[in-house]
Amino acid sequence: MSGSNGRRPPLIADRRYGPSAAKKTASNGGGGRGSKPPPKAGPKRRTKKRDPLSAAVAWVFGLIWGVVMFFWRILWGVGWRILAAVALVVGLSAYYFYSQLPEVAQLVDGRARGSVTMLDREGKVFAWRGETYGGMVTSDKVSKYLREAVVATEDRRFYRHFGVSPRGIASAVRINLSEGRGPLEGNGGSTITQQVAKLLCLGVQYDPKEWKSEADYEADCRKGGIWRKVKEVPFALAMEAKYTKAEILTIYFNRAYLGAGARGFEAAAQRYFGKSASEVNASEAAMLAGLLKAPSYYAPTANLERARDRANVIIGLMEEQGYLTRSEADQARAHPAQLSEAAQSRSGGFFADWVMESGPAFLTRDTTEDVIIRTTLDQRLQRAAEGALDDVFKTKVSEGSKAQAAVVVMSADGAVRAMVGGRKVQAAGSFNRATQALRQTGSAFKPFIYAAAMDLGYSPADFVDDSPLTVMVKGSGPWSPSNYDRKFRGIVTLTSALKQSLNIPAVRITEAVGREKVRQVASEFGIQSDLAAGPALALGVSEATLLEMTGAYAGILNGGSAVKPYGLVELRLQGEDTPLIGQEGGIGERVISEQAAQLLTYMMTQVIESGTGARARLPGWEAAGKTGTTQAARDAWFVGFTADYVAGVWMGYDDNTPLKGVTGGGLPADIWREVMVRVHEGLQPQPLKKIVPEPRMPPQTTADVRTDPVPQDTGDWQAQRPNDTGDWQAAPRPPSAGEQIVRDVLGIFGGGGRN
């Protein structure tokens, strides 16, 4: 509306901003009456048509995008529900495991079996059997190097995850695939928490009704695979919620198997280094941590260099992750871990096996308790025996030979001081040739024949005829023994017959004193196997173990009393002072008189002085012994003693293959000498208790010895002793009928008089 003077009223813009602003507003299309009409639009521009090909491509991509979005909506709609369900299941499973987990102290020792720790005669540990557990050790009490080495090796992100490491699993899958394995074969990407879950068998307890053995149970617990990994996740999460990181490490440090029967790092540190896990240095900690990958393979007692190489890898990881400085790492590599004396020597393995077998199974082989056994072993003597055997084989036996040997050293009372059951130290439970191999004894049996004769009053100076002999064996016919060299020596003393190991005189003496008497003496001295009943008994066709033979010779050394070889002195439970079992071996009943034993000792000294055992002679020491070689040289023996120790050596092949060029007076005597030289280091020579017999004149009447009639295989030929001294009466007294039979048929003569 216009004003009365024909002018338009002022606009609001004029009043607010002034006329210029209103004019500007109007010029910008205010739409008022006075505004200029907008300029006419020019002619429309023609739109360019889209290329058909581009349109088709755009349509296809649009269709694909639509399909993708369609399925995405479906997957998202289903996927989040599945993920939610999985999370719920995992959460509920974790909560279930959480509610079942006990206190840490109940999880540190998961062994179903106990351990046996063996001490030598000085109280030092030399062997372990079963699974050794060194006692609970907490992660904050072990050496910091050990704690850091384990984390650096097994789970570098241990302190930053919640039990499961997706990054670690992805890395393990990548490594496995790159090396041509399955995604979960080889590296599993398990965290320490997951490894603990596996050690705990996901909470499943050992049940003898379900598993045949504890080994089967543990094998089942260690199984890998996707399903096992899936089950580990909620258990690991539950552990992370239940325990602190330090407590999880504590369980790990106590339950991990670290080779050589050591369960837990405390036991392993004691086993390998003779010190506590709290005292190990960087190089020792690295070696212990390296065992986690493959305990038996990397055990330093199996291969020290391999264990050190693995330890250097661990040292590198510790340096890389900042646990060791460059100088500390170089120091650890320059001074690798050294094994303790007991671990380094690996001595006493066969001895330990024998002790385990000699004790009751429920306290040794199958014990569920931790047991301490004090033994008779002398580690110095053990090393001496092992070293001597190795040196002889290196210097005197052809390289590559499969011949075996065994050595036993004991005191006169039967206390076994050293035992070597084979040329190489093998795993526990290996075949022990000193205690398990029954072999023919050959001429090493002959001292028992002469022991019986001496006990019946014979003298080493008595004479016996070494000439052809035939004995009728019931059911077999005539049997004609021969000497090793196929020669005959005529009339010889009993001492000469023994020192030259003549067979025919041994048979004559056996027939004279009676086979039953010889069997009695041998069995009472400790030969436990069935002894031959026929005349071949005299030639050592019966079998015995080296331990039995050495123990029997110990009976001669101690003056004629039987001994029962023993190694166990005392058995008690760990932590207890009262023994459950004491010594069961030692000196027993008298077998032959002391005089007979000392006469026999003299005869056996001559074997070494000038007989078949000359290679066993000990410079400066008086020694007695006997060689033994069986038919076709399948077995070769030397057993003998000094005033301090008795030792036995056997040599042969496990498959009974004949030895080539070996007799008891050869390599076995060499081994015996080397063993005894080392055993007696630092000792003062002591004389043997022996009786030197008075020499006697050969028989004054020596009628031709007949072989017809011949002794029958009745075993009842007894020696005829004219008087209590065992002396034959000198001529001219005519012999009695019994004496004449002994003289003529058996060819045994007393002295014709004393010089």
CA pair distance 18, 20, nearest whole angstrom: 6
What is the pLDDT, as a whole number, of residue 3?
Answer: 46
CB 467 within 8 A of CB 747: yes
pTM: 0.73
Q: Between β-strands 262-263 and 132-133, what pairing exists: parallel, antiparallel or unpaired?
A: parallel
pLDDT band at 87 (very low <50, low <70, confident <90, very high): confident
CA pair distance 183, 169, nearest whole angstrom: 9
Q: What is the pLDDT of residues 539-565, one digit of tens each?
A: 999 999 999 999 999 999 999 999 999
CA pair distance 719, 739, nearest whole angstrom: 9
| pLDDT(428) > 60 | no
What is the pLDDT, as a whole number, of residue 176?
Answer: 60
Name which residue leads in pLDDT, 81 or 521. 521
Helices (runs of H) and strands (runs of E) counted in the chain: 25, 21
| pLDDT(745) > 50 | no
Q: What percent of the chain has pLDDT over 90?
A: 54
Q: What is the mean pLDDT of residues 60-86?
A: 76
Farthest-apart Cα atoms in the chain, separation: 199
690 CB neighbour count, 10 Å cutoff: 18
What is the pLDDT, as a whole number, of residue 449?
Answer: 97
3-state secondary structure string across 536-599: HHHHCCCEECHHHHHHHHHHHHCCCEEEECECEEEEEECCCCCCCEECCCEEEEECCCHHHHHH
CA pair distance 419, 410, nearest whole angstrom: 9
What is the pLDDT, as a whole number, of residue 48?
Answer: 54
CB 413 within 8 A of CB 656: no
Residue-averaged pLDDT of the chain: 83
| pLDDT(390) > 90 | yes
Q: What is the mean pLDDT of residues 680-702?
A: 87
Q: What is the mean pLDDT of residues 677-693?
A: 96
Q: What is the pLDDT of residues 265-288, one digit of tens each?
A: 998 999 899 899 999 999 999 999
Residue 84 Cα distances to 71, 73, 136, 169, 236, angstroms: 19, 17, 41, 22, 20
pLDDT band at 182 (very low <50, low <70, confident <90, very high): low
pLDDT band at 211 (very low <50, low <70, confident <90, very high): confident
What is the pLDDT, as a whole number, of residue 506?
Answer: 96
Q: Can you spell out the DSSP letters for 196-239?
A: HHHHTGGGPPP-TTT-SSHHHHHHHHT--SHHHHHHHHHHHHHH
Q: What is the pLDDT of residues 353-368, one digit of tens each?
A: 999 988 888 888 888 8
What is the pLDDT, as a whole number, of residue 320?
Answer: 95
pLDDT band at 183 (very low <50, low <70, confident <90, very high): low
Q: What is the pLDDT of residues 22-67, one digit of tens each?
A: 444 444 444 444 445 555 555 555 555 567 777 777 777 777 877 7
Q: What is the pLDDT of residues 435-452, one digit of tens each?
A: 999 999 999 999 999 999
Min mean pLDDT across 157-166, 198-207, 477-486, 734-743 is at: 734-743
pLDDT band at 647 (very low <50, low <70, confident <90, very high): very high
What is the pLDDT, as a whole number, of residue 579?
Answer: 92
Q: What percent of the chain has pLDDT over 70?
A: 81
Residue 289 Cα distances to 256, 448, 746, angstroms: 10, 57, 74
User: Environment class of residue 254 by beta-carbon count within 10 Å: exposed (0-12), middle (13-18) or buried (19+)?
Assistant: buried
Contacts of 271 (CB under 8 A, 6+ apart): 128, 132, 258, 260, 261, 262, 343
Q: What is the pLDDT of residues 96-143, one digit of tens each?
A: 888 888 898 888 876 767 889 899 999 998 888 877 777 788 999 999
pLDDT band at 178 (very low <50, low <70, confident <90, very high): low
Q: What is the mean pLDDT of residues 584-592?
A: 94
